[in-house]
Amino acid sequence: MKRPLPINKVDMASGPLFIITMLAEAKALKNQPELRSPGDLDDWTKEQLSDPSQPPDPLIPAGYESRDTKASLAMLAGNVAVNLAMAGLLGRAHDALFGKRVANLGAKKGGLLAAMVAWDFLYYWDHRWQHEKRIFWANHVTHHSSEYYNLSTALRQPWSGYLLSWVFFPMPLVGFTAAQTARAGQLNLLYQYWIHTEAIDRLSPAAETVLNTPSHHRVHHGANPQYLDKNYAGILITWDKLFGTFEPEVRRIKYGLTKNIKTYNPVKIGYHEFADIARDVRRAKGWRNKVGHVWNRPGWQPEDASVAG
């Protein structure tokens, strides 16, 4: 079976499109009457960040910061390099699974649309598990490490995504071809590019009800207590509403991590959490606690603090 090329015409066209849209967004944000200052919410209490009793805060953009943007672009370059290196191995795995398929959904009318819905559903769980298991969070934390929120943040992609490639193995098993699977993943990722912006406030009620929008995804990038681990959707926000992880945008969003790493070094951005896991495992006493530092939720600690060493 012929495999799709690792980089196709859509990918090639995406580069110039990213540059043009980022420049346009940066210009639009500069023309805003007000921009937020870095760290402007650092002194807010949990109650201020989460108070649901007040009317929604107005959207005041954070704009761009040159070092932050350069770091995001460096992460994209590394992501592309890793994906190209892994393409052959993952392609062979897809072919093997396709050979053992139990259905031929891709051969039916509307096969690509079905593949996109299937990918979007699996992406929801892929994304959710990256927030719920620390070893997977070590990969995904890269994408949340910026304290800004703009189109360049969308390009701040991790370097260890292969850790969850298996989540999408049902695609070939139910009969979606390699080309359909690749295109579904590509279109899903491209859709998510434009929602990383503060240049768009809210869309129509109908769109906000069904689709993942800039407003919904800004919530996902928030370190506010009520925004943590919410709005995992790729294209359809329906999954979050169905599985109980939806949260609307109300309070002003504190972007970044609960403990920000304060670095623009791509290697540290990409691997700092893996290093922290190794440190915690080394210090922990007992296999149960060592495994807990790897497999439990991010931030987990042994009940007895002395067990951590």
Domain ranges (residues) in the chain: 62-264
**Residue 255, helix vs strand vs coil:** strand
pLDDT of the residue at 150: 98
Rounded to whole angstroms, the Cα distance separating 10 from 237 reads 25
Which string of b and e fits 29-44 if b means at least 16 CB within 10 Å?
beeeeeebeeeebeee
231 pLDDT band, cuts 50/70/90, is very high
Rounded to whole angstroms, the Cα distance separating 183 from 29 reads 32
**pTM greater than 0.85 (yes/no):** yes
Average pLDDT over residues 194-218: 97
pLDDT of the residue at 309: 43
pLDDT of the residue at 37: 86
Structure tokens at 119: 């990918």
Q: For 204, list phi and psi in degrees, rounded to 5.
A: -65, 155
From the CA atom positions of the chain, what is the Rg in Å? 20
Average pLDDT over residues 24-42: 91
38 pLDDT band, cuts 50/70/90, is confident
Is pLDDT at 156 greater than 50 in this prediction? yes
pLDDT of the residue at 2: 63
Is pLDDT at 269 greater than 60 in this prediction? yes
Which residue has tokens 């304060």?
Answer: 262
Structure tokens at 37: 């200052």
Amino acid at 139: N
